[in-house]
Structure 1
Amino acid sequence: MLFATVASLLLAGTTLAQTPPGFVPAVEKTLDVYYGTTYISPGLMVKKSSVQKIPVVGVTNATLTGKYLLAMIDIDLQTSGSAKRGTVLHALLTDWTPSGATQNGSSLITTKATGPSSYFGPAPPAETPKHPHNYIFLLHEQPANFAVPASQKSVVQSRMNIDWVKFIADAGLSAPLYATYLQVQSGDNTKRFEFEA
């Protein structure tokens, strides 16, 4: 059963996705993410200063029930001495539930949880040449009595180099239901433009 789940995640990488090209697992349904009144369409380039507070999250044309888990992962960490890029866990938040509120047709979900890993906004370091970092949001159904598995505790605490396919398998999660991503340019330290709060 676990093999079938991992295999289906790998095969999903070839379908139409709301995640960056080549990212696994690929997700077909778009997660609605708003920073203030700005909607994050998949791949939207934004200013670092405009995404430092946790966004509002929801879905369109669907009714969510139960609890959900939200992850935000930077997949473009520059690792010293390597051409391969690593990952940084920017958020892993549990207990998202329907709020009853809407924004531009999105049915919003909310959480009071601040963990297992609290949200921290994008801040890619300067690189030459500049390299946009991709920050992926993934929404999963949250299993009853969810806890970070022992095999993943150190990576969740350090936030560095999380392998999301392995996390899904170790945590017994089903494939993500919704996703989207944004981009922030490396070295973007501008404060000139802010989205509305």
Structure 2
Amino acid sequence: MPSDNHIKSAFSLIEKDESKVLGLTVGKHENVQPGTYIPRQDAQEVPKLSFSGATPNNKYVIVSLDIDAPFPSFGILGPILHWIQSDVKVTGTSSLEFDAPFVANYIGPAPPPGSSPHRYIFFLYEQPEDFNLKDHAPADGQKLANMSRMRYDLDAWAKEIKLGPLVAFNYFVSN
């Protein structure tokens, strides 16, 4: 079972400090608050993110996981990696923008039939200065295979790349 220290600390971060809630727009749902229900069909496109506390000259990494796969009461396959985007920059409007290739392409919610809602979580981290996208992304912009997404160990990957501190966090639920 992958460790979940980053997941636990993220939930704790926004409980202690509401200013650390990552701005999240999912489809037509703007200003998504932590735990908001979003219908599956509304969350198939890459979300728009913002964070007023981001430093304009810094680069960031976005990581998204489904922490309830395949069922919240039976998470044997989870967490499932839904997205990793590096080289994220903040604009003057606090929007987070990126034009670099992904590390792991975004996939929308897809809980199995009969499942209760899953939590889809989004982390914003400072990107390590020596992070090299080519060392971590699939070759030639290929999409990340499903087997590489299951039982994703964010703690191990964060240690491997010397991931910077968690800056902001948010999540929605969907089924």
User: How high is the TM-score relative to the length of structure 1?
Assistant: 0.68
Confirm or deny that 1:174 pairs with 2:164. Answer: yes
**2:128 counterpart (132, 143, 164):** 143
Q: Contact 1:148 / 1:171 at 8 angstroms: preserved in 2?
A: no
More strand by share: 1
Structure 1 residue 147, shift from structure 2 partner = 3.5
How far, CA to CA, are the matches of 1:147 and 1:137 in structure 2?
A: 21
How far, CA to CA, are the matches of 2:173 and 2:83 in structure 1?
A: 16
Residue identity opposite 1:165 in structure 2: D
Q: Over aligned residue pairs, what C-alpha RMSD do you find? A: 3.2
Percent of paired sites with the same residue: 27
* Corresponding residue number in structure 2 for 1:190: none
Runs (4 or more) in structure 1 with deviation over 6 Å come to 148-153
* Corresponding residue number in structure 2 for 1:123: 110
User: How many residues are matched?
Assistant: 159
Q: Once the two structures are superposed, what CA deviation does each residue of 1:1-45 show, in whole Å capped at 9, x if it has no partner?
A: xxxxx9xx57x74984438xxxxxx98611101124522110111
How far, CA to CA, are the matches of 1:149 and 1:97 in structure 2?
A: 18
SS at match of 1:116: coil
* Corresponding residue number in structure 1 for 2:153: 163
How far, CA to CA, are the matches of 1:55 and 1:119 in structure 2?
A: 9
* Corresponding residue number in structure 1 for 2:174: 184
Q: Contact 1:122 / 1:184 at 8 angstroms: preserved in 2?
A: yes
How far, CA to CA, are the matches of 1:87 and 1:14 in structure 2?
A: 15
User: How high is the TM-score relative to the length of structure 2?
Assistant: 0.76
Larger radius of gyration: 1
Gaps of 5+ in 1: 1-5, 20-25, 186-197
